[in-house]
Amino acid sequence: MNKEIERLIDEIDLLQAAPAEEPMRQYYFIKKCRQYVKEISEKLGRPLRAATVTFGCQMNARDSEKLTGILEEIGYVEESVEEKADFVIYNTCTVRENANQRVYGRLGQLNRVKRKNPHMLIGLCGCMMQEPHVVEKLKKSYRFVDLIFGTHNIYKFAEILATRFESERMVIDIWKDTDKIVEDLPSERKYPFKSGVNIMFGCNNFCSYCIVPYVRGRERSRNPRDILREIETLVADGVKEVMLLGQNVNSYGKTLEEPMSFAELLREVEKIEGLERIRFMTSHPKDLSDELIEVMKTSRKICRHLHLPVQSGSTDILKKMNRRYTKEQYLSLVDRIKTAMPNISLTTDIIVGFPGETEADFQETLDVVQKVRYDSAFTFIYSKRTGTPAAAMENQVPQEVVKDRFDRLLKEVQKIAAEECSKHEGTTQTVLVEQMNEQDDTLVTGRLSNNLLVHFPGTKEMIGQLVDVKLISCKGFYYIGEAVK
């Protein structure tokens, strides 16, 4: 727990009105919530437990760490089993319809648990809550939910919770957009040795299929000083690897008062002593500069992995998707990257069945997959998102056609990924050990610079350490290795 935040909270006088300025205002409500939690906990004769469940991407996961940090400051003990928790908070995602369905399904189950534990609280936040039709549905059919808030005011979590403790009614607080970034809130990392770091919020790209710009708002970059200070603090606390997070990191800094490119930011992060590895996500191909390729090439810390979502290989479809590059531009970018860094691992996202996609368009996607030879690819079936331009497009592709293309794509992607993975057999590479192996407790699991996983004999003392490992045999998508003494 951050001692400075702790000290500031201690000094707050709850008899005074809540401060107007952030983050002091939230520290005030954290202290207030502490009292409520203490009272309930004394009544029950045990500590209160809270479970934060993340449904979405890495940015959502980072938000969840902030929620957990605030919950711990308030006095909740972290709990991984939802049914055992006194407070369950779902941090939702709405990028595809199935993400939404999962939330509704699990809410139904939670309702049954809550009937038995009436003091249980259920909170919902994240991207789904930014859609008015979702909130309407919750208000009508999910009255047992206690608090609902969105992506823009997540920093107000303690304040919203305090309101709920005081009102006994469902509390809803959703903002349409924000230009605000609140720094210095508590946060609790999932791993002691690695951490995500937001460098920007929102997205301005409006790819025609995508809901993210509507639910995450306009693009805003954090001040580089705040980012560097956060990373320095993390490193002092034992972090060896950071993942810089943004929907389109390549456009970092454009809206700052003193503009700064993403490549320049990386140069600054590289200088932080004690930091061993830098990753970032996600790179939009249209904004990936030669300056960035150069910085990656000369860096000792930036990992040899680039996630470069292509979405489709057809220039026609890319145009309809509003991606703003052609198949040829994408392939030429990949060429430049591979020429500069021959051992780089490239991964991607692909959508199958975008409206109007023909078999010929799909063949173009397969062609890109074969030419780039991705180390792995996330493949998605196009999901219609209400309010996006693509949802209103004609020629939605029939489900059975999409399914058939999806299966063919997956087969090709997996075949190539396995071939690419096996290329490293016999080499020795540095691995950051992340955890004990889940199936075999004589093994540890670590990650190579190129993001591949390797399992090798080891002990829990190795977790968080960088170890040189010989990659003995490739098992398709991961390695079995041996530490080199």
Residues that bind ligand SAH (CB under 6 A): 95-96, 209-210, 212, 247-248, 282, 284, 309, 311, 349, 351, 380, 382-383, 385
Task: Using CB under 6 A, pick the residue from 64, 94, 365, 429 that binds ligand F3S.
Answer: 94
State the nearest-atom distance from the C-beta of 324 to ligand SAH, in Å: 11
State the nearest-atom distance from the C-beta of 114 to ligand SAH, in Å: 32
In the complex with ligand F3S, which residue's Cβ is closer, 57 or 334? 57
Name residues contacting ligand SF4, limited to 111-170 (CB under 6 A): none
x/- map, 121-140, ligand F3S, by CB under 6 A: ------x-------------
Asked whether position 351 contacts ligand SF4 by CB under 6 A, the answer is no
* 474 marked ligand binding residue: no
x/- map, 201-220, ligand F3S, by CB under 6 A: -----------x--xx----
What's the CA gap between 11 and 33, in Å, rounded? 15
Asked whether position 248 contacts ligand F3S by CB under 6 A, the answer is no
The one of ligand SF4, ligand F3S, ligand SAH, none whose footprint includes residue 213, by CB under 5 to 8 A per kind, is ligand SF4
* 303 marked ligand binding residue: no
In the complex with ligand F3S, which residue's Cβ is closer, 128 or 334? 128
Which span (8-16, 181-189, 203-211, 446-454) binds ligand SF4, by CB under 6 A?
203-211
Task: Using CB under 6 A, pick the residue from 26, 31, 48, 56 that binds ligand F3S.
Answer: 56
State the nearest-atom distance from the C-beta of 367 to ligand SF4, in Å: 22
Q: How far is CA 79 from CA 51, 89, 191, 444, in A?
A: 5, 11, 16, 24
Phi, then psi, of 178 in degrees rounded to 5: -160, 155
The one of ligand SAH, ligand F3S, ligand SF4, none whose footprint includes residue 1, by CB under 5 to 8 A per kind, is none
Closest alpha carbon to 249 in 200, 305, 180, 310: 200
Task: Using CB under 6 A, pick the residue from 62, 284, 385, 455 that binds ligand SF4.
Answer: 284
Do the Cβ atoms of 246 and 200 come closer than 8 Å? yes
Q: Strands (DSSP E) along 130-254, which ranges?
A: 147-149, 171-173, 194-198, 200-201, 220-221, 241-245
Q: How far is CA 6 from CA 10, 66, 229, in A?
A: 6, 15, 18
Closest alpha carbon to 32 in 15, 53, 45: 15
Asked whether position 93 contacts ligand F3S by CB under 6 A, the answer is yes
The one of ligand F3S, ligand SF4, ligand SAH, none whose footprint includes residue 60, by CB under 5 to 8 A per kind, is ligand F3S
Question: Which stretches within 310-398 are classed as H helix?
Answer: 315-320, 327-340, 359-372
Phi, then psi, of 446 in degrees rounded to 5: -135, 175
Tokens found for residue 311: 């979405």
Counting Cα atoms < 13 Å in the Cβ hemisphere of 377 gives 31
The one of ligand SF4, ligand F3S, ligand SAH, none whose footprint includes residue 127, by CB under 5 to 8 A per kind, is ligand F3S
* 207 marked ligand binding residue: yes
Using DSSP's 3-state secondary structure scheme, residue 400 falls into helix
Do the Cβ atoms of 33 and 55 come closer than 8 Å? no
What's the CA gap between 203 and 218, in Å, rounded? 5
* 421 marked ligand binding residue: no
Do the Cβ atoms of 109 and 134 come closer than 8 Å? no
Task: Using CB under 6 A, pick the residue from 203, 244, 350, 352 that binds ligand SF4.
Answer: 203
Size of the site for ligand F3S (CB under 6 A): 11
Closest alpha carbon to 349 in 92, 100, 95: 95
x/- map, 210-249, ligand SF4, by CB under 6 A: x-xx---------------------------------xx-
In the complex with ligand SAH, which residue's Cβ is closer, 23 or 309? 309
Task: Using CB under 6 A, pick the residue from 60, 261, 282, 429 that binds ligand F3S.
Answer: 60
Asked whether position 95 contacts ligand F3S by CB under 6 A, the answer is yes
- What's the length of the chain? 485
In the complex with ligand SAH, which residue's Cβ is closer, 185 or 317? 317
* 33 marked ligand binding residue: no
In the complex with ligand SAH, which residue's Cβ is closer, 396 or 428? 396
Do the Cβ atoms of 359 and 371 come closer than 8 Å? no
Q: How far apart are the first and last CA of the chain?
A: 36
Q: How far is CA 274 from CA 33, 232, 237, 267, 376, in A?
A: 37, 9, 10, 15, 30
What's the CA gap between 90 and 430, in Å, rounded? 36
Q: Please give the helix or strand (H or E) that residue 225 lies within, else none.
A: helix 224-236
Radius of gyration of the chain (CA): 23
Tokens found for residue 449: 């610079």
Binding site for ligand F3S (CB under 6 A): 56-57, 59-60, 93-95, 127, 212, 215-216
Residues flagged as binding site for [4Fe-4S] cluster: 57, 93, 127, 203, 207, 210
Binding site for ligand SF4 (CB under 6 A): 203, 205-207, 210, 212-213, 247-248, 284
